[in-house]
Amino acid sequence: MLDFKKSNGLIPVIIQDARTLEVLMLGYMDEEAWEKTQSEGRVTFFSRSKKRLWTKGEESGHFLHVVSTHIDCDHDTLLIKVRPQGPTCHTGSRSCFNTDYNRNFIFELADVIDNRFAFPVAGSYVNRLHERGLTKVAQKVGEEAVETVIAALAEEEADFVNEASDLVFHLLVLLREKNISLDTIAKNLEGRHK
Average pLDDT over residues 73-86: 95
pLDDT at position 90? 86
| β pairing state of 11-17 and 78-84 | parallel
What's the pLDDT at 28? 96
pLDDT at 138: 97
Average pLDDT over residues 126-130: 96
Lowest pLDDT segment from 8-17, 92-101, 145-154: 92-101
* Domains delineated in the chain: 4-84 (3.10.20.810), 104-191 (1.10.287.1080)
Tell me if 151 sits within 8 A of 162, measured CB to CB: yes
The 10s digit of each residue's pLDDT in 140-174 is 999 999 999 999 998 789 999 999 999 999 999 99
Is residue 128 predicted with pLDDT exceeding 90?
A: yes
Query: What pLDDT is stored for residue 108 in this prediction?
Result: 83
Distances (CA, A) of 168 to 159, 164, 174: 14, 6, 10
Least confident of 81-90, 91-100, 130-139: 91-100
Residue 94 pLDDT? 84
On the question of pLDDT at 137 being above 80, the answer is yes
Give bridge partners of residue 17 from the DSSP assignment: 82
Identify the pLDDT of residue 20. 82
Closest CA to 106 of 178, 39, 173, 41: 173
pLDDT at 25: 95
Distance, CA of 97 to CA of 95 (rounded, Å) = 5
Model confidence at 100, pLDDT cuts 50, 70, 90, reads low
Rounded average pLDDT over 27-45: 97
